[in-house]
Amino acid sequence: MGGAKRRPNTKNSARLAVDVLAHLTLRGLVVPEAMAYAGIAGLPPQAGLDTLLASLLAYALLGNLAPLVIQATSATAALLASSVAYAQSPGEKAAGST
């Protein structure tokens, strides 16, 4: 064993390629979706991106299930929209409206 050459770990290299492909695929779906759901809720698109980033970081630090996907849902957007509408006073215009 002392003089034997170590082979590169091809299993981890293949896994990295699959993980990068999965990242790019999910990023292409989740980022526009988070921005759209923020719009449904009457919030600026940046709010969707900030929320997405915060949830991904929280899961990266606290989560333990690898195949789980963190993303916004239409149910969350609808509930948030009703909460935002309820919180606004009747005479106040929604942000961004003229």
What band does 7 get if pLDDT is binned at 50, 70 and 90?
low
Q: How do residues 49-88 score in pLDDT, each as one tens digit?
A: 898 888 888 877 887 776 766 666 777 677 777 777 777 7
Name residues whose C-beta falls within 8 Å of residue 35's C-beta, 6 or more positions apart in sequence: 45, 48, 49
> What is the pTM (predicted TM-score) of this model?
0.54
Question: Residue 38 corresponds to which tokens in the numbers above?
Answer: 């923020």
Mean pLDDT of the region 37-45: 85
Q: How do residues 9-33 score in pLDDT, each as one tens digit?
A: 566 777 888 888 888 887 888 888 8
* Cα torsion angle, 72, 78, 80, 84, sign: positive
Which has more pLDDT, 40 or 84? 40
